[in-house]
Amino acid sequence: MKVRVSYAADISEVPRLVNQLLDKMSADLKMGADKLTFNPSSFDQMARDLSALRESLSLVDSRIEDVMNLTRGWIEATNPKEDPEPEVSPVEEEISND
Protein backbone atom coordinates (compact mmCIF):
# COMPACT_ATOMS: atom_id res chain seq x y z
CA MET A 1 0.00 0.00 0.00
CA LYS A 2 1.31 3.43 -0.91
CA VAL A 3 1.15 6.30 1.53
CA ARG A 4 1.87 9.92 0.61
CA VAL A 5 4.30 11.56 3.05
CA SER A 6 5.15 15.24 3.14
CA TYR A 7 7.35 17.35 5.35
CA ALA A 8 8.98 20.76 5.38
CA ALA A 9 12.60 21.24 4.40
CA ASP A 10 14.88 24.18 3.82
CA ILE A 11 15.07 25.21 0.15
CA SER A 12 18.81 24.46 0.16
CA GLU A 13 18.06 20.80 1.02
CA VAL A 14 15.87 20.18 -2.04
CA PRO A 15 18.67 19.20 -4.47
CA ARG A 16 20.02 16.67 -1.93
CA LEU A 17 16.55 15.25 -1.30
CA VAL A 18 15.87 14.94 -5.03
CA ASN A 19 19.21 13.20 -5.56
CA GLN A 20 18.38 10.76 -2.76
CA LEU A 21 15.06 9.95 -4.43
CA LEU A 22 16.81 9.46 -7.78
CA ASP A 23 19.42 7.17 -6.21
CA LYS A 24 16.69 5.11 -4.51
CA MET A 25 14.74 4.81 -7.76
CA SER A 26 17.87 3.76 -9.63
CA ALA A 27 18.65 1.06 -7.06
CA ASP A 28 15.04 -0.19 -7.10
CA LEU A 29 15.07 -0.41 -10.89
CA LYS A 30 18.37 -2.31 -10.89
CA MET A 31 17.08 -4.79 -8.30
CA GLY A 32 13.88 -5.19 -10.27
CA ALA A 33 15.79 -5.82 -13.49
CA ASP A 34 17.61 -8.69 -11.77
CA LYS A 35 14.25 -10.38 -11.20
CA LEU A 36 13.36 -10.38 -14.89
CA THR A 37 14.04 -14.02 -15.53
CA PHE A 38 12.22 -16.70 -17.46
CA ASN A 39 11.73 -19.57 -15.04
CA PRO A 40 8.96 -21.91 -16.22
CA SER A 41 10.09 -24.68 -13.86
CA SER A 42 9.20 -22.40 -10.95
CA PHE A 43 6.38 -20.39 -12.43
CA ASP A 44 4.87 -19.49 -9.04
CA GLN A 45 8.13 -17.84 -7.95
CA MET A 46 8.46 -16.13 -11.32
CA ALA A 47 4.90 -14.77 -10.99
CA ARG A 48 5.61 -13.48 -7.45
CA ASP A 49 8.82 -11.80 -8.60
CA LEU A 50 7.10 -10.14 -11.54
CA SER A 51 4.19 -9.03 -9.38
CA ALA A 52 6.60 -7.48 -6.87
CA LEU A 53 8.39 -5.77 -9.74
CA ARG A 54 5.12 -4.25 -10.96
CA GLU A 55 4.49 -2.81 -7.49
CA SER A 56 8.02 -1.46 -7.38
CA LEU A 57 7.60 0.14 -10.81
CA SER A 58 4.36 1.76 -9.68
CA LEU A 59 6.20 3.27 -6.71
CA VAL A 60 9.03 4.47 -8.95
CA ASP A 61 6.44 6.08 -11.24
CA SER A 62 4.98 7.99 -8.27
CA ARG A 63 8.45 9.07 -7.20
CA ILE A 64 9.22 10.33 -10.70
CA GLU A 65 6.21 12.63 -10.38
CA ASP A 66 7.46 13.75 -6.94
CA VAL A 67 10.94 14.48 -8.34
CA MET A 68 9.46 16.53 -11.17
CA ASN A 69 7.24 18.53 -8.81
CA LEU A 70 10.03 19.12 -6.28
CA THR A 71 12.41 20.24 -9.00
CA ARG A 72 9.83 22.52 -10.62
CA GLY A 73 9.04 24.11 -7.24
CA TRP A 74 12.73 24.52 -6.44
CA ILE A 75 13.40 26.20 -9.80
CA GLU A 76 10.47 28.57 -9.31
CA ALA A 77 11.56 29.41 -5.76
CA THR A 78 15.22 29.98 -6.60
CA ASN A 79 14.60 31.85 -9.87
CA PRO A 80 11.74 34.24 -9.10
CA LYS A 81 10.24 35.91 -12.13
CA GLU A 82 10.48 39.65 -12.23
CA ASP A 83 7.19 41.49 -12.39
CA PRO A 84 6.89 42.75 -15.95
CA GLU A 85 6.32 46.44 -16.53
CA PRO A 86 2.62 47.06 -17.11
CA GLU A 87 1.97 47.59 -20.77
CA VAL A 88 0.03 50.67 -21.81
CA SER A 89 -2.51 49.96 -24.51
CA PRO A 90 -2.87 52.46 -27.38
CA VAL A 91 -6.31 53.46 -26.09
CA GLU A 92 -4.95 54.31 -22.64
CA GLU A 93 -2.10 56.24 -24.26
CA GLU A 94 -4.52 58.38 -26.32
CA ILE A 95 -6.61 59.12 -23.25
CA SER A 96 -3.60 60.17 -21.21
CA ASN A 97 -2.34 62.46 -24.03
CA ASP A 98 -5.59 64.49 -24.05
Distances (CA, A) of 27 to 6, 38, 93: 22, 22, 61
**pTM, two decimal places:** 0.71
Are residues 56 and 27 in contact, defined by beta-carbon separation less than 8 angstroms?
Answer: no
Identify the weakest region by mean pLDDT among 1-5, 12-16, 21-25, 29-33. 1-5
- The residue extents of the domains of the chain are 12-76
**Greater pLDDT, 98 or 73:** 73
Give the largest Cα separation in the chain, rounded: 91
pLDDT score for 97: 58
Are residues 11 and 77 in contact, defined by beta-carbon separation less than 8 angstroms?
Answer: yes
